[in-house]
Amino acid sequence: MSDNIKSAKALTGATGFLGSHLMASLLSNGYSIVILGRSTKDERLHERIFRLLHWFGIESLVNQITCVEADLTKDNLGIEDEEYSRLCSIVDSVIHCASDTSFAESKREKVMAANIGGLKGILEFSKHANIDIFHYISTAYAAGTGETYCREVPSIAKTFTNVYEESKAGAEKIISLFCEKNSIKLSIIRPSIVYGDSRTGRSIKFNALYFPVHSMQSIKDIYLKDLNINGGKKASIHGIHIDKDGYLFLPLKIYLHGKGSINLIPVDYFVNAALKIIENCPKSGIFNLTTNSPTTFETLAEYNEQFMKVRGVVIGYGKPSDNTLRNPAEELFDRFIVPYRPYLADNRRFDRTNTDLATDNLNPPEFTYEIFKTCMEYAIGVNWGASIFTIK
Ligand SMILES: NC(=O)c1ccc[n+]([C@@H]2O[C@H](COP(=O)([O-])OP(=O)(O)OC[C@H]3O[C@@H](n4cnc5c(N)ncnc54)[C@H](OP(=O)(O)O)[C@@H]3O)[C@@H](O)[C@H]2O)c1
């Protein structure tokens, strides 16, 4: 490692969406990083990381990285004693970004094992390394479903949208107690829903915001294919047709539980704000990385209509009655967006007092149609992630 780089930061979750962006930003700012991660059955950890460095165009910074295979659930993170002691001697802070981000109740055991069970190893490591500060990447939704104004204070929530949120709130509590007991400063960074880079659209993950749009594209493709059968001879299927402007008319009623909005921040904002907190955090604190101008689902639907050239989408509020007939497109769309539905019409607002102070009032950009288009064009260009590492 070169002399001009600062002390080492340990980072978990570097192979994921937010963690990889944090890694790139830390490296570009001269930090040296110990990456605690895992291999897959096809690729070793260092190969996974190098592939990401290549994607970010920063392979030349590889010397600032130490890749260490670690198992968060094992004593000493499953790292051999000598190497563990060496790492403890060079690491001055930890950024814990690894998390199982599944929402499904059927994955409860796995989510809890990763997000709660996996804390012991990284916290013990932090203690042995005598670190100055522990940064935990949590979620704005650790605030739970009971709050309408979510302050930057410890969560006392009892009800959550899903097991993921519950596990993140539980983790915040455990980490807070541990850090307090061991006199380690703690920053809890709580982003809302993160999408790609607002300037370039680049992203390595395409869930959350992308899901309804991807679903709509899949449904559109099914009908376009059907309408085009026999050289485009079918004029209409169940009223679905191409209108005079070349838009696909697709009658589709989307039911939301009520009026509300979706709290979106771009990954470039997340990284810049998180870095400011990591660099300037004088004392423990909780930071909501959220927007004060959340996007309504109606706006998202308009963006989608313009971008996908689809008309006929109508938004309903409440639950459809049992005898409401749903057309196949509606049934399909409903099924696609199940996990994200609660986030599409949300009424929670987020306090940003600590965040504004720590980040010099750095705020995410308004989610305009231009940003939406840039992100969706990128997503489609890499086939919603399927060809992300083969296309430049
Ligand atoms: N993306 C968002 O919109 C968003 C919003 C709010 C908060 N967050 C928080 O931000 C953090 C990163 O989220 P993300 O979207 O980047 O998630 P992601 O893309 O799914 O990445 C998750 C990372 O965690 C690692 N991981 C998962 N389970 C693990 C386990 N059992 N043991 C060790 N490592 C494990 C993954 O490693 P492998 O690659 O080896 O699987 C990967 O590096 C999470 O803490 C999440 O709660 C994300």
Q: Is the pLDDT score of 21 beyond 80?
A: yes
Q: Is the pLDDT score of 5 beyond 50?
A: no
* Distance of alpha carbon 346 from alpha carbon 214, whole angstroms: 21
* Percent of the chain predicted with pLDDT > 90: 74
pLDDT of residue 38: 97
- 323 phi and psi, to 5 degrees? -95, 15
pLDDT of residue 1: 41
Q: Is the pLDDT score of 133 beyond 50?
A: yes
Q: Taking CB atoms and a 6 Å cutoff, what residues make up the pocket around ligand 1?
A: 13, 15-19, 37-38, 72, 97-101, 114, 118, 137, 139, 168, 191, 193-194, 205, 208
The pLDDT tens digits for 35-73 are: 999 999 999 999 999 999 999 999 999 999 999 999 999
Q: Is the pLDDT score of 2 beyond 50?
A: no
CATH of domain 8-191: 3.40.50.720
pLDDT of residue 332: 83
Choose one of 12, 68, 97 to mutate for the ligand 1 pocket test, by most ligand atoms within 8 angstroms of C-beta: 97
Ligand 1 atom nearest residue 205's Cα: 19
Mean pLDDT in the chain? 92
The more confidently predicted of residues 86 and 251 is 86
Ligand 1 centroid, distance to 137 Cα (angstroms): 9
Choose one of 15, 18, 287, 288 to mutate for the ligand 1 pocket test, by most ligand atoms within 8 angstroms of C-beta: 18
CA 225 to chain centre: 33
Q: Is the pLDDT score of 391 beyond 50?
A: no
pTM for the model stands at: 0.95
Ligand 1 centroid, distance to 277 Cα (angstroms): 20
* Distance of alpha carbon 157 from alpha carbon 173, whole angstroms: 11
Domain-wise residue ranges, the chain: 8-191, 210-259+296-344
pLDDT of residue 231: 56
Name the residue with the closest Cα to ligand 1, atom 22. 16
* Best CA proximity match to 36, nearest among 60, 17, 19, 21: 19
